[in-house]
Amino acid sequence: MNKKLLSLLFLATPFLTFSQEKGLDQKIDEAFGNATGWFVDIIFYQIPFTDTVSIYWVLFPLILGATYFTFYFNFINFKGFITSINIVRGKHDDLEGREDHNVEIEKSKFTDEEDNPDTIRIEGHVGEVSHFQALTAALSATVGLGNIAGVAIAVSIGGAGATFWMIVAGFLGMASKFVECTLGVKYRDIDSDGTVYGGPMYYLTKGLKNKTLGKILAALFAIFVIGGSFGGGNMFQVNQAFQLVENITTPAGGVSFLHGKGWLFGLIMAVLVGIVIIGGIKKIAKVTDKIVPFMVAIYVAASLFVIFANYDMIGDAFSQIFNGAFSPEGIAGGAVGVLVQGFRRAAFSNEAGIGSASIAHSAVKTKYAASEGMVALLEPFIDTVVVCTMTALVLIITGNVNAENASLNDAQAILLTSGAFESAISWFPYVLTVAVVLFAFSSMISWSYYGFQGWVYLFGRSKKMEYTYKVIFCIFVVIGAAASLGSVIGFSDAMVFAMMVPNMIGLIILAPKVKVELVRYMDAIKASKA
């Protein structure tokens, strides 16, 4: 199959090269934008609050839902934090082998014959990957460009105070991740060979009493996740990575040797992506559990170096954050604008409530659905509370927070962040370039799994359908690197956030089921200590 994949990619190269003719990709982009603009406008419609501040409506259900889950589950995002770490460390693995603590198999209410009963144990299998691997696979899809470029834009618009609200939203998002990932495991399907199929498609279909509504919502989610995987989870990632690589290889006053060769960069990335995704979630997890911890550690270490190299400014930085959060001065939009920018960046970065992470977490080896939900709540903490905050502190301390940078796009914002690090570590732009490429790569392989799960839900689980999706995904890697497709990426971003609509409906309705699973798991932990 690898040979077939490579053959298709090389056959596609002439067409992709042709697509770089001056103006052709722009014309395609324009036509696509005209056809899909209405959908993008709906999803990213902004509700005006003041003359200067407007808020994306999608933020309301995300933040309100996260707040509701925080209270409904008695602050699980804080009280369950230590337990979550212990689960990842393997402290509670002994529960999985104890017959007296097995979760009871529930009778299915789902009538579709090709689907397995709504149980978390089927055919003697309990999953495909470890807690740690599931965590890193999901993190790989969220930690990346949003943490580096998005934060720079957020603090430029909202000021240092946006960091505080970003952290608050990150903590709240932990509760949403807990709910959706618990449901992902509870209602997953496991084939007789142990292959796991999970995510909102399954808990919407099998969990909701109204099966017609469930199937409609599940189908919508599947469509949205496929679109998001091709665009925001694929083309955008490789496009931004290529721009940064081209910039770092451009000599002063000269032109990079990669100029005009985006297709070549894309082809190399497509081959690497193809090699990984052909192996499924087990192969993806084996890659992400190496890349993600390494790059997060490097990034955090570099951030701490910059921060402590300017230790005399740390106090002032935190003062700016707290003062700016509650009494902003001279910031566009005032207090509301600061809050909005912080919440927006957190929501756009950690994707809590979107439902994508539950797909990766569904593949975990466990008999207890709530165990993985608790692992998942660590994601927004790492992604937003740690990585995003580190980026913000570096930008504040190095004096790169100003309104002049508010109009930067993602590619320019990455360079701004790179420059901030360079002020303390001269060679760090090269490290950041490698980090961005690796983050982009890990995001692509994780999103390929998300899109694939939506694809097989709609079109069936045959090998033909599997390889069709994966080949198409790899071709889009090349297209994303070679072409200027702003409208396509904008449309796919809209599809990512459209996932929130069916998913949040399911989370609210099924929250009582999650509480039952939480009680079961905590009782099992207590019993093991007795």
Q: Considering Cα of 416, then 417, then 420, then 421, what sign does the dihedral take?
A: negative
Q: Are 219 and 387 in contact (CB under 8 A)?
A: no
Q: How many CB atoms lie within 10 A of CB 290?
A: 13
Q: What is the pLDDT of residue 216?
A: 94
Candidates 195, 191, 222, 521; CA nearest to 363 is: 195
- Give the Cα separation of 399 and 425 in Å (integer): 15
DSSP characters over 287-329: HHHHHHHHHHHHHHHHHHHHHHHTGGGHHHHHHHHHHHHHS--
Let me know: does 134 contact 361? Beta carbons within 8 Å.
Answer: yes
pLDDT at 115: 39
Q: For the chain, first and last CA: distance in Å?
A: 52
- Other CB atoms within 10 A of residue 383 CB: 27
Instruction: Quote the pTM value.
Output: 0.84
- Note the pLDDT of residue 8: 47
105: left (phi over 0), alpha (psi -120 to 50) or beta: beta
Sign of CA dihedral 79, 81, 87, 89: negative
| Residue 214 identity (one-letter amino acid) | G
Taking alpha carbons only, the member of 230, 234, 258, 263 closest to residue 433 is 258
For residue 377, the 8-state DSSP code is: T
CATH number of 75's domain: 1.20.1740.10
Residue that the structure tokens 């939009």 belong to: 333
Whole-angstrom Cα distance, residue 28 to residue 366? Answer: 47
Tell me how far CA of residue 353 lies from CA of 18, 61, 68, 70, 374, in angstroms.
Answer: 40, 9, 12, 13, 15
Report helix, strand or coil for 104.
coil
Q: How far apart are CA 60 and CA 484, in angstroms?
A: 31
Number of structural domains (the chain) is: 1
Neighbour count for residue 3 (Cβ, 10 Å)? 7
The 10s digit of each residue's pLDDT in 287-317 is 777 777 888 888 888 888 888 888 888 888 8
Rounded to whole angstroms, the Cα distance separating 501 from 58 reads 8
| Rounded Cα gap, residues 190 and 140, in angstroms | 24
- Tell me the residue range of the domain where 190 lies: 2-529
Read off the tokens for 36.
Answer: 């899909």
Q: pLDDT digits over 60-93, tens only?
A: 888 899 999 999 999 999 998 998 998 888 887 7
Dihedral angle, C-alpha 64, 65, 68, 69, nearest 10 °? -150
For residues 306 and 390, give the distance between their C-alpha atoms in angstroms, rounded to a whole number: 10
Q: Which amino acid is at 515?
A: K
DSSP state of 402: -
Q: How far apart are CA 411 and CA 240, in angstroms?
A: 6
| pLDDT averaged per 10 residues, the chain (length 530) | 50 47 62 80 82 79 91 92 88 66 40 38 55 80 74 79 86 92 90 81 92 93 91 83 82 76 86 84 76 82 87 87 73 56 71 87 86 90 87 86 69 78 82 84 88 92 88 88 73 84 94 93 82
Structure tokens at 516: 């039952």
Which tokens belong to 308?
Answer: 């402590």
- Select from 513, 402, 511 the least CA-distant residue to 65: 511
Contacts 24+ apart (CB under 8 A), 418-422: 418/244, 420/306, 420/394, 420/395, 421/302, 421/303, 421/306, 421/394
Q: Per the structure block, which two tokens stand in for 477?
A: 């890697």
